[in-house]
């Protein structure tokens, strides 16, 4: 593309900067994917889901846990108890049971986002009163 002065906007510096940014982006995505697979593998060993290890003292997580259906709350408690038992025995979950697990499947995250949105809305409304 030519600018209004007839000079090309794609100088060698901007082209190399763009290619460096693309490389960095691909590298970041690769590292993130590898990290996510490692976290999933670790959670699988204990039979946990990612939402199971969130900090319960966070106000948004606490509100989401209150809104969680009783069946999901019971399943969460069972997963946490099983994980503590597995940790105490220092023996990972059998591979056939690990294969059935989906540690990255969210069950609490949508409720956390909803609680967070409500909290922010409430804070904004209270600011202008």
Tokens of 17: 């900067």
Residue listed under structure tokens 């997963």? 79
**Cβ–Cβ under 8 Å, residues 68 and 77:** no
Q: What is the DSSP code (8-state) at residue 58? A: S
pTM: 0.75
Block residue for tokens 């697979």? 37
pLDDT over 70, % of the chain: 91
Mean pLDDT (the chain, rounded): 90
Backbone angles phi, psi at 2, to 5 degrees: -100, 140
pLDDT tens per residue across span 42-58: 999 999 999 999 999 99
DSSP β-bridge partners for residue 2: 8
Q: Is the pLDDT of residue 4 over 60?
A: no
């Amino acid at each position: 593309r030519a600018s209004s002065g007839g000079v090309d906007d794609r100088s060698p510096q901007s082209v190399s900067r763009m290619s460096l940014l693309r490389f960095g982006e691909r590298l970041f995505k690769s590292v993130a994917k590898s990290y996510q697979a490692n976290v999933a593998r670790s959670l699988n060993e204990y039979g946990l889901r990612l939402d199971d290890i969130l900090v319960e003292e966070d106000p948004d997580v606490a509100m989401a846990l209150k809104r969680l259906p009783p069946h999901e709350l019971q399943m969460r408690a069972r997963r946490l108890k099983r994980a503590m038992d597995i940790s105490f025995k220092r023996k990972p979950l059998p591979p056939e049971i690990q294969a059935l697990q989906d540690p990255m499947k969210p069950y609490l995250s949508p409720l956390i986002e909803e609680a967070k949105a409500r909290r922010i809305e409430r804070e904004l409304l209270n600011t202008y009163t």
